Amino acid sequence: EVLKKFSELRNRSYTEREQLFIFFSSHGSYIKENDEGYFIPSDGVIDPNFPDSWLSFRYLKSLIGSIPCNHILVGVDTGYGGAFGDEGSK
């Protein structure tokens, strides 16, 4: 569902002054070995042995960057959410 919504947002036309607010609220995790934070979707497995069902902060930031809107505000309510804004996790 999350990826489908990003596809819709990416394919939409935005005016120069239009604004977009994206809010994430979910369980989160952080894997120190690869310095990466993750959102765990409602259908994801909350187990560090199964990160394939998680969405990495790095990947989600790249999806946000592909949306052709000039003004995007992102709100994050998740465990390890502080790592979402970390410049080391681009």
* Max Cα-Cα span within the chain: 44
CA distances from 6 to 39, 50, 76 (A): 15, 23, 16
Q: Are the CB atoms for 39 and 55 separated by under 8 Å? A: yes
Q: Residue 90: pLDDT above 90?
A: no
pLDDT digits over 26-71, tens only? 999 998 888 899 999 888 888 877 788 899 999 999 999 999 999 9
The rounded distance, in Å, linking the Cα atoms of 12 and 77 is: 26
- Entry pTM: 0.83
Q: Residue 89: pLDDT above 50?
A: no
The rounded distance, in Å, linking the Cα atoms of 39 and 32 is: 15
For residue 59, give the H/E element and its range.
helix 57-65
